[in-house]
Structure 1
Amino acid sequence: MKPIKFILSLLLMLLASSSAESKCSKTCDLALASYYIWEGTNLTYISNIMQSNVVSKPLDIFSYNTDTLPNLDMLRFSSRLNVPFPCDCINDEFLGHTFLYEFHPRETYASIAELTFSNLTNKEWMEKVNVPDSVKVNVTVNCSCGDKMVSKDYGLFITYPLSSEDTLESIAKHTKVKPELLQKYNPGVNFSKGSGLVFIPGKDKNGVYVPLPHGSLATAVGGTCTVLLLAISIYAIYFRNKNAKESKLPSKYIVVDKSPKFSYEELANATDKFSLANKIGQGGFGEVYYGEPRGKKTAIKKMKMQATREFLAELKILTRVHHCNLVHLIGYCVEGSLFLVYEYIDNGNLSQNLHDSERGPMTWSTRMQIALDVARGLEYIHEHSVPVYIHRDIKSDNILLNENFTGKIADFGLTRLTDSANSTDNTLHVAGTFGYMPPENVYGRISRKIDVYAFGVVLYELISAKPAVIKIDKTEFESEIRTNESIDEYKSLVALFDEVIDQKGDPIEGLRNLVDPRLEDNYSIDSISKMAKLARACLNRDPKRRPTMRAVVVSLMTLNSTIDDGSRSASAALSTVMEHDSK
């Protein structure tokens, strides 16, 4: 691997041979980065990793994409958005900007370049500008300030990573920039090669092209762009495979602005007139049937007209909130009964997979990933949707699993919106499922923390494969009953874990006895213990002392990354969360 001095020397030689004006002497303050939206990302995440003096919050990015983004919480997977960033003259040699990024366990330069920063840089470039094993790494993204020799009408440019499906014609059509102009700004570039960077005239937040400042000495793309592309080609052994993969995402990940309306006849034909053979579920507000209207595999929920409130709640939320860990609403019907048409999830719900002995046992790593999936879905509706939503009925029955055992939250009929992420509302209507409801539910207090509590119960279910409320054999209870023969024969899963965790001495052996026996010895007791501690924090009787779902996601991400290598870093990640746990 050649040292950075050699690369800079090569750049100097190329710059010297191009033109006297090719060396950057001043910046243009602003450029745009074309960021490919991959599954699971959101504006908050993008604004955090690409933070600069022009981006400090999601709204700063949204303001440059109002023509393509209906609102802050509606990102279209497999599409692009423009992220503003400063265009600096780095080392007096080339135009770009260096972002500081905190290295996380299991990440590599390749994953950071290709996924996190959406191929705006590459692995080879990062290897050149970073010291190995650094906690924070430099991520350099190139930019352009225009070329007055080509046109003075354009002074704001998009750094655009080429993907496998791109061509000169497709980019021209997408950006509404003439092909001839694109070629002049990117001389000698093959727009169909599927890798590398090109620079495209962009529009400001008002939707207009920004001209070059009068008398500007901004770096010419005609000369310097060629130099930059040559330099980048030295590093770019591979650059753009991600888009080719992401462009093949199933249609269920594509966001639609409106859910289509189905006719009763379509749904009746698709379900054989709602026959018993097509019935796949029964909920509190209606039956669920399997059908394939318009050739799509769907789960069709049939609700009575009296369930209008719940119907409208789900319809309103799922047409506005889109995330890979929330079930996708395909359409609806309001003829005779109320119908909601969802994507069909192949593997049933979490409760079935945990409690049905006829199903094969899920591995511990799969259970950990499901926990993270659900946490991410809750974090999204708690932190990133506008307005904020509270599910109010999180339970294993409402967590669906697809063919890859990806967890998706379903059943938003009880969901409540609130004006503020930190607000607490009161209601006379107590909602939820026994075993998952927190103590404050008795008083009708509603906040995001009721979902956090229910999630804690789900974590205990993942560990034990026991239901939220357990029927106890009377012989097991006799020592506790003594003279009180009328005591109930049911115990909550929370109480069962409390007995083990609160016992004197090391609770590890007690936890082993609670672990799903179908896991046999194929789990880490340290991982089980950390999961139980996280669940305990979520189940704190004081809602203010429960962690946020954002903190839970961070803890689970760290815990997931330590399953195989036995690292102790998860303890540090859990420490902040555990501070909330009263003992």
Structure 2
Amino acid sequence: METQNSLHFLTSLSLTLLCCLLLHFSAAVFIPADNYLLNCGSTTNASLYNRLFLADGSTTKSVSLSADRSIALKNPNPSQDSPALYNTARVFTGGGGGGDHSSYRFDIRRNGSHLVRFHFSPFVAEDFDLNFAKFSVLVGGFLVLGDFSTQVVVVKEFVVKVEVDVLEIMFRPVNGSGFGFVNAIEVFSAPSDFILDDGARFITTSGAVEEYTNLSSQVLETIYRINVGGLKLTPFNDTLWRTWIPDEDFLDFKSAAKRAVTTHTPNYQKGGSTREIAPDNVYMTAQEMNRENVNIDARFNITWDFPVGSGGGARARHLVRLHFCDIVSSSLNQLYFNVYINDYSAYKNLDLSTMTIHMLSAPLYIDFVADSDDSGVMRISVGPSDLSSAMKMNAILNGVEIMKMVHVTGLETDKKKKHIWILVGSIVGGFIILCLAVLAVLLSLKCKKKKPKPRPSESVGWTPLRVFGGSSRSRMSEGTVSASPGTNGYHSLKIPFADLQLATNSFDKNLIIGSGGFGMVFKGVLRDNTKIAVKRGVPGSRQGLPEFQTEITVLSKIRHRHLVSLVGYCEEQSEMILVYEYMEKGPLKKHLYGSGCMPLSWKQRLEICIGAARGLHYLHTGSAQGIIHRDIKSTNILLDENYVAKVADFGLSRSGPCLDETHVSTGVKGSFGYLDPEYFRRQQLTDKSDVYSFGVVLFEVLCARPAVDPLLAREQVNLAEWAMQWQKKGMLEQIIDPHLLGRIKPASLKKFGETAEKCLAEYGVDRPTMGDVLWNLESTLQLQESGPPRTPHEDGNAGAPGLPTPRNAPQDPSGSGGVEGDVGDGSSDLRTSQVFSQLITNEGR
């Protein structure tokens, strides 16, 4: 009996605990008061991320469609990879106003902030090609998208404060013959504390910090949602069905940051953040200062650059929400750091432990309001505070959200006001026209004998090419090479967008041959059967604009057999497209440790290194200042059908120092694992930074492994450090590519190792020039082919032991300014053969 009573008690207790747990769980899950998900243009429901979108063809009392001028459209050729939700669309042909309008109307149960998302996925069907739709969208009378068009799948999200019983979403084509479309719409309530009126810190253009009020009344457009230090998060992992992307592509200098991860769920506290503000996974990862390879008292910031606007002096106001959770400290009051926005101090001496109830791993967020800079970039930095001790110096960031404050334009329904403004506008307009006419007459009389100024460079879409010779203080020009556009400017390089569509079969996904931070790379064939590689930036996005301009600047003024040639570019229809010669064999990296490629012989590898060195040597010496590449790595050395190496990707290149200078002071850019440590420490760039990166590539070629491999043992992660240890032991043969075992002559391997070692010297002054490197690689190849050894006195100049320096080599009689300073079609090889004739064997290569 006692046993039965105990069992009954335990059963009752278990049920009670289970009920409490269920109640707690249900209370923790956010259930929006308004929750509308529409599958537009469809008569059937569709699912996306386990959310059911109801067909708008069967609208209910709560949702109505004014379908006077709308058409339900179905994709006749749906892609297997495309969600069913994107296979239908509602097309709008009406303009709006009176009875001639196209809109959805949603009954609102609870006023307050709402999330409104539009899904656009253009396709071609019947009489409509949705790629050419151009229209405006109004939410509750506010213009949120003006003259909008897209050729790619895009989701636009807005936060709108709704204070009416019925929310109307209207679609208006930009002209009478145009049309608009939408594939799906989401309208649902946001948590009451999602956007608070008070508490945001306003960073003024003078750098002062003020309080920003009435924030919730602003219409906000989500531009970025970043999971700092973490992976991509899909709507599956977010209670508000949001997508968070990694931060890696936005880090200004990747080596300054180190990823931090915890497996413990955040300690949510009252007054702090919630799972609706950001999901657990955002607060369980972060970027912190990478202090592994710097002095104990070194101070530096972690910086992210987010392109947010059109630039050209146009500023836009944004809500910047930064998420923090201290997952790196071992105790409270250990972490003090500063926050900067656009290089202004936004929050000084931030101590996360004082902003929470004295508990680590407690998530919180801070809202800032700031304007983008003149180049349309939002720069966010975190760095150590003056309160930090040398041993505890650190700074972290867990997440970033950037929302643009939409310039709202309401629909005016008061006809009297319309008439008044029309009358006022007519009077003012007439007066302005009269003034302009008088001014035109005066100017024509004054300037009658002056020659007309040339027309400015035409540009359709995002922006014209930047005017050269601009202010050196501009951040936009920081990563570019100063150059003159030449007699004909860049117009001779322009390629119509229609030609590139034809060449790539409308950018067929099956023709994609690569991808990067700038965008996708497609294989194509021009009308004259020229094979090309087409690098297409994300349409309408300014991400990569400085790199786009720099590539055109650099490659339009240089030409060399070992540099990838620029065929042209396109800047129409909000596109940023670069067109290069097609390199059949792709990047060197793929042939070293990629899949599906035959291993390269030692001779092939040496010839590839020699070719890349020739290209770099020409970059450094082909003009008065020279050009520094800044991103030398195995993925930026491409091979043609004959395995001839060509250096590519000049997006980070910039001019070298002037004759009276020793270096260029600039922000650090490059790729982790290849970056010159002296450049990192001092932020002083020279051509020796390229030499260091090339030294890493040499070991990459020899060992057939990545420059950084985090999956290996700690001492092997960094290739340069690991290989240098074996080189200094004189045991380099222990780590070479197994395919090369027994195939490299000891003298050749010794010479190669010495060359790479010199390239990786800690200080740039101790590194050879690219001319020296080229000379020694030629010697290495000769030693492999059993040619007669060189003697030091044949070098023509005393150099470092084992590294002859041919600085007195014969000059090009044409006066082009360098051994390989040609800009012709490959004739540099003849000049090179004259300079290096002592190294050429009887058999030839």
Structure with greater helix share of residues: 1
Structure with greater strand share of residues: 2
After TM superposition, the score normalised by the length of structure 2 is 0.35
Q: Which has the larger radius of gyration?
A: 2
Higher relative contact order (CA 8 A, sep 6+): 1
